């Protein structure tokens, strides 16, 4: 039976992230499509940060701006903000540059992306543990 999700429910944001990470784990392990993996990882960071913000009472905004979301975490004094900051610094531009033409593409850095995936997994577990 289909399940209705709710954008105001942080657990539903994490449910989608977990599904995305299944694909990302395989893509990164097999080094398939670096731009897709990196932009999808940035999207996972976006969704995890929204889950954490919604959990704290934040009114959902439709934005893909990782830096804006990081600032919201900082404003709410989230102890996870420093971990988000590291990922946001590296992935904020990739969300757009790897998905749309008109930008210079970076050479694939699979070891770095594997490390970022591990960081995302830690953040996911941390936020999930708070629900």
Can you give the residue ranges of every domain in the chain?
10-130
End-to-end CA distance of the chain: 24
CA distance 77 to 3: 33
* Whether 105 contacts 42, CB under 8 Å: no
* Whether 103 contacts 43, CB under 8 Å: no
CATH class of 10-130: mainly alpha
Return all residues near 32 (Cβ < 8 A) that are at least 6 apart.
26
CA distance 40 to 94: 9
**pLDDT tens per residue across all 131 residues of the chain:** 677 889 999 999 999 999 999 999 999 999 999 999 999 999 999 999 999 999 999 999 999 999 999 999 999 999 999 999 999 988 988 877 777 787 777 799 999 999 999 999 999 999 999 99
How many CB atoms lie under 10 A from the CB of residue 62?
A: 6
Q: What's the pTM value of the predicted model, to 2 decimals?
A: 0.93
Task: Scan for tokens 């420093």, then name that residue.
Answer: 82
């Amino acid at each position: 039976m289909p399940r209705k999700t709710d954008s105001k429910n942080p657990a539903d944001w994490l449910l989608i992230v977990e599904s995305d990470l299944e694909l990302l784990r395989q893509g990164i392990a097999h080094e398939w499509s670096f731009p897709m993996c990196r932009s999808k990882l940035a999207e996972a960071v976006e969704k995890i940060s929204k889950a954490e913000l919604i959990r704290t009472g934040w009114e959902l905004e439709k934005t893909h701006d990782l830096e804006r979301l990081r600032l919201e975490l900082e404003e709410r004094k989230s102890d996870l903000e420093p971990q988000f900051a590291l990922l946001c610094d590296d992935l904020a531009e990739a969300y757009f540059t790897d998905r749309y033409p008109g930008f210079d593409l970076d050479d694939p850095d699979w070891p770095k992306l594997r490390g970022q995936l591990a960081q995302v997994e830690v953040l996911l577990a941390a936020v999930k543990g708070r629900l």
